[in-house]
Chains A and B, each alone.
Chain A
Amino acid sequence: MKRLVSVLLMIGLLMGLTACGVSQKETANQLTIWHDKEDAVIAALEQALKQAVPELEIVFEKKTSLTDSLKLVGNDPSAAPDLFIFAHDKIGVFAEMGILAPIQPFLEDGALDQFLPMTIQAASYKGTLYQLPLYFETLLFMYNRRYMTEADVPETTEALLAYMEENTGRGRYGFVEQHSTAYYSAAWIHGFGGSIIDENGTPFPDEQAVMDALNYHARFVALMPGETEYSTVNTLFLEGKADSTIGGPWMVPSARAANIDLGIAPMPTIEATGKALAPFSGVQGIHVLKFAAEKKADAVKKLLSALTAPEIGIDLALASGCAPANEECYTDERVAGDELVQAMRTTAQIAVPMPNIPEMDVMWTVVSNLLTNVNLSHKDVAESFVAAKVQAEQLIGAMK
């Protein structure tokens, strides 16, 4: 009896192990889409697609570590999805890996004519369009009307600095931001005409602009908390201990829940350069995997065609305050009346799409180190910059 049980257990174990590799057969009308988005966005998409393409069977699967999973199974049709929704900044990585299909062949002529140019630029890599943009996010200047009146809202960074000097102290801050993270500080670098990396993969193409931005920004950092993480900055603003901040649209629901009288204003302009702080923008869109483009071309074409319709962008904007990539959506009265969406649309004119080349992956760390050295360890800007440039070149070299 014991032997029988042991043999049965062994067989069960082996069957369990082999079953991991077995997959269900899919039909040409079934499309699986991976995403990491909030429920409201996906519910709006599901609802809209049910009406637009009822003949397609679309399954949305939420993945928390979507990019890592794609790196593992991106070329395995039995394990990978057919499409995925993600920000545009990984396009270069996936295109170089060879798992993405260009989407232009699936779109009708003129389908993207009404899309914001910034979103099309973000979705293209080496001249090829790899993503159909759905909506985008940018950082915004937010303030608490209870403490910062309309008249106080700074139009220039010098005015912001003066406000900070007047209103910072005794546990209160005039302005807070994640000052030593690359995503947030990029706005200051862009405001000085600099950039973190160019399209050829050269780090800090305008060195002087970056150093000028760091020196200038340090004056503001001195009046902010010595922490740069999201939770501290977010909590200070939500608890009413900070009058203003630069944050993403994802902060808005929690600010409203915390009864903050939230105001949104244009980014302040740097007097010395005449340019506004220009934050990064992240374009969320749908990508097609190569094997789905080959095996399920008709279904993919129908889906993408449905997703270019402005109605979907309107639904997304109404459901979760997304700023649609399709400019036609903004003619809708309800979208036009949404302060948050309109603010992002305005910022889109100055926002810089996050670089989507693979080299940007290492630059997040390089720039964070540089900012930490300058802002938190108070090291010399020029020396820290040289060290960062060396590290950037080493890491970019190590990628190949």
Chain B
Amino acid sequence: MRNRKTDARKAYLWSSPSLLLIGLMVVFPIVYTAYISLTNMNVYHWFDFTIVGLDNYIRALFVFDSGFLSALLATVLWTVVNMALQLVIAFTLVSLLNVPKLRLRRLYKTLLMFPWAMPGYVSILLWKTGMFNTQFGLLNQWLTKLGLETVRWLSSSVSAFLCCTVVNLWLALPFMIMIMDGAMQSIDRSYFESAILDGASWLERTRYITIPAISPIIAPAVIITVFTTFKQFDVVYLLTQQAGAKTGSGFHTILTYAYENAFITNNYGYSSAISIIIFLLLLVFSARYQMREENR
């Protein structure tokens, strides 16, 4: 018994540097944000701020107006569409990559990982100017060559939503492909051989062997991607809402909406309250998803 206690203490001791780092980098910012959300820290009380209780949370509720609700709905739609497309496209590509006797398999895999190697900021701006720009973008160059009118791809909410989805898929697919490829390669080939002998079609093999076998393996990746997609900021902001380069699109996720309606005020107490509410919102989604997974 004493040995077990000593072992546990030692384990904590050896883990303490890592725990300290995790605490500093993950837990501390959340706790500090929660603390600031209870204060009046703003430009006029930068260093002499005081506790104001839940005032900021009460004021934050005014930000959650009809604009916020439509941004929330758009964010849910954005997450669903992106996740569905990611799973379908990644599954199709991985299935093709795993076709027996496929030549240059490694080259294709490397090319598919390429978007991951580029910094997201660079990728997004390249898409914005290289593809969607009215004057110089490739898409409009093609339209001009075909004798058609140029299109302002990012100017309306619907077309901006679609363009943002394309860029997000470009950025996110490598991760999903890598995880799905690893999962698919871990399936014992004998299952497929038996199924083929029993006369199962490709669709049946996919439905009864491939998908059930890879589901538990890709589940964590799906959860991670759901949350990164839900709290997406960079793609939407840089493509359509960047200061000095707005395009006219009204498409907002909850984060770009909160940024434009709170974070630019330099009122850290108020902005922190909004951050904490969004954080809790994500936490509730996460907990529900985790519970559903555990019940399975």
Q: Is B264 an interface residue (CB 8 A)?
A: yes
For the complex formed, measure the closest distance between the CB of B258 and the CB atoms of chain A, giving whole angstroms: 12
Q: Is B33 an interface residue (CB 8 A)?
A: no
SS class, residues of chain B in contact with chain A: loop
**Which residues does B use to contact A, with CB under 8 Å?**
14, 16-17, 20-21, 24, 42-44, 46-48, 59, 62, 129, 133-136, 152, 155, 242-248, 250, 260-262, 264-267, 270
Contacts A226-B134, A232-B135, A395-B264; A400 near B44 (Cβ below 8 A): yes
- What CA separation (Å) do A13 and B252 show in the bound complex? 42
- The one of B134, B246, B265 that contacts A395, using a Cβ cutoff of 8 Å: B265
Q: Is the CB of B264 within 8 A of A236?
A: no
List 21 A-B pairs, Cβ < 8 Å: A13-B21, A14-B17, A74-B46, A93-B266, A97-B46, A226-B134, A227-B135, A228-B246, A229-B245, A232-B129, A358-B44, A361-B264, A361-B265, A362-B265, A375-B248, A376-B246, A391-B261, A395-B264, A398-B265, A399-B265, A400-B44
- What CA separation (Å) do A369 and B155 show in the bound complex? 13
Q: Is the CB of B246 within 8 A of A10?
A: no
Q: Is the CB of B267 within 8 A of A225?
A: no
- What CA separation (Å) do A284 and B26 show in the bound complex? 38
Task: Classify chain A's interface size.
Answer: 35 or more
SS class, residues of chain A in contact with chain B: helix
- The one of A14, A98, A230, A391 that contacts B245, using a Cβ cutoff of 8 Å: A230
Q: Is the CB of A400 within 8 A of B42?
A: yes
- Residues on A with C-beta less than 8 A from B244 are 178, 181, 183, 228-230, 368
- Residues on B with C-beta less than 8 A from A75 are 47
Q: Is the CB of A96 within 8 A of B264?
A: no
Q: Is A377 an interface residue (CB 8 A)?
A: yes
- Residues on B with C-beta less than 8 A from A235 are 135-136
Q: Is the CB of A365 within 8 A of B42?
A: no
- Residues on A with C-beta less than 8 A from B243 are 364-365, 368
- Residues on B with C-beta less than 8 A from A229 are 242, 244-245
Task: Determine the residue in chain A with the shortest Cβ distance to B155.
Answer: A376
Q: Is A180 an interface residue (CB 8 A)?
A: yes
- The one of B14, B24, B47, B247 that contacts A6, using a Cβ cutoff of 8 Å: B14
For the complex formed, measure the closest distance between the CB of A273 and the CB atoms of chain B, giving whole angstroms: 27
Which residues from 97 to 115 on chain A have a C-beta closer than 8 Å to any C-beta of chain B?
A: 97-99
Q: Is A65 an interface residue (CB 8 A)?
A: no
4 nearest A-B pairs in the assembled complex, by CB-CB distance: A376-B248, A229-B245, A97-B46, A372-B246
Contacts A229-B245, A230-B244, A376-B246; A399 near B43 (Cβ below 8 A): yes
Q: Is the CB of A398 within 8 A of B17?
A: no
Q: Is the CB of B133 within 8 A of A96?
A: no
**Which residues does A use to contact B, with CB under 8 Å?**
6, 9-10, 13-14, 17, 71, 74-75, 93, 96-99, 178, 180-181, 183, 225-232, 235-236, 241, 358, 361-362, 364-365, 368-369, 372-373, 375-377, 391, 394-395, 398-400
- Residues on B with C-beta less than 8 A from A230 are 244-245
- Residues on A with C-beta less than 8 A from B16 are 10
Q: Is the CB of B248 within 8 A of A377?
A: yes
- Residues on A with C-beta less than 8 A from B24 are 17
- Residues on B with C-beta less than 8 A from A93 are 43, 266
- Residues on B with C-beta less than 8 A from A98 are 46-48
Q: Is the CB of B264 within 8 A of A180?
A: no
- Residues on B with C-beta less than 8 A from A361 are 264-266
Given contacts A229-B242, A376-B247, list 10 more A-B pairs with CB under 8 A: A17-B24, A75-B47, A225-B134, A227-B134, A232-B133, A373-B248, A394-B62, A395-B264, A398-B267, A399-B267
